[in-house]
A and B are shown apart, each in its own frame.
Chain A
Amino acid sequence: MTGTGFMNTMEAVAINAAAFVITMVLFGLYVTWLGHNPLDVYYVLWLGSFARQISIESTLTNAAPLMLTALCTAIPARAGLLVIGGEGALVVGGVATVLVGVLLSGAPFLVGVTLMSLAGAIAGGLWIAFAGALRQYRGVNETISTLLLNYIAIAVMYHLITGPIRDWERVLKTSSWSIPEELRVGALPLVDVHWGLAVGIVTCLILYVVMRKTTFGFGVDVLGGNQRAAQMAGLPINKMVLICCFMGGAAAGLAGAFEVTAVHGFASESLVVGFGYAGILVAFLSRQNPAAIILMAIILGGVAASGGLLQRRFDLPDATTQVLQGLLFMVVLASNAAYGRLNIFQPAAWRTA
């Protein structure tokens, strides 16, 4: 790591830490206004996220899909696109996983799981690549189109699970058919967290290498920095945008695949719990860096994991986590203004006369 790179990393860590502290202070003021002791609230947040093994496991279970949905924003962002379609790509990936899974009854475990994961990833990838194509070939704003595609994906899923692929024998919950029991993915060794976590971490690391250490990644950074420069250099811009969108969407689709194979076993409203939207926040916290996403997803997974305990302990509504996430998002975006402003992180401050 070069000296400037190290300085940039330290700057990002310091600014993010400050953003967290400011968010927690604001959230503390908010709960004080509601009549709770903020110190109690902080303690419960800690208790529910990182204090005990069971809470850490719950944090990591939430972090797994967040890593993958964050990539759905982060990878296209490197090419200069603001994609927020992770929620939809996750749902589409989950439904595709179910459709392939029910056909694979009796298949060997590894073959079945691989095919289901591929189905989820390809479906999610094509879903977001469609938005990328609309932008490149029709000039349709990708932020709006991916948000619309979220609503469309959710509507299509509800259509399918209330009719064509509904499991009529499950009376208490409207859901799709279940994937075969023998193709359900279990927990990692040592911790009670499903394999999606390992897949999420590995995917982040692979994409980190692709985006940082390959010619393709370098080209994408040129494109994201300055489209005209990329044009002058003769880079295949359309193709690069489509590939980035496909990779991002595929990651979110993979999240959907593991929510089905490792958590629920079927597609239902449980896929639509905001992992896609929280993933956007993770991507921005990580400054669109795939390696940083691993850490940030774990922190945000902690927020999600402690939400339930926070609600029960203080009798707060379930939207509490969303308020905290929205607040953090705004503070983090505002903190962008601080980059390059703090002298201590400028190389010049360390140069000896």
Chain B
Amino acid sequence: MADLDTLVKRFQQKDIDAFEKLYNMYSKSIHGVVYNIVRDAAISDELMQDVFIKAWNNADSYSSSKGRFFTWILNIARNAAIDKTRSKTFKQSKQNLNTDFFVDIIAGNDNFEEKTDAIGIKKYVNQLGEKCKTIIEFLYFKGFTQKETAETLAIPVGTIKTRNRNCIQKLRDMVL
């Protein structure tokens, strides 16, 4: 995908138009990832913007050989959101974090600006099995390790990789 590579290079050279394109591509996903961790609309709005400004200021540190650009921002976002949940002020304001998974948020989101295909996603995502929901929640949204995920699900670590693959295959059938 030569276009994305060029865009990322221009972004690294502080091209603000390239930055805007990348932002439009990924900001909503990152917003979702952050919100799924902090569960607070105002805080996630602010955090998501912090994540992109951090990416802009540290653009030099990204290299395509280290991973996908999307994955790089995803990592920054998860770390920033988890740091936020560990902060004292956050803990005081959120005594009990909602234990719902991303699927519950999707189901609860009642947004009129949603595209029509989102309705389809909302409908299908709930059809994912509990194990798929948990694996995607942990490995992707929360960034837990395979070992941590396997322990939570009480399944062998060796099966995590293929199970995750199967779950994402199902997801692909729904969203693509």
Say if A and B assemble together. Answer: no
Taking beta carbons and an 8 Å cutoff, which residues of B are in contact with A? Answer: none
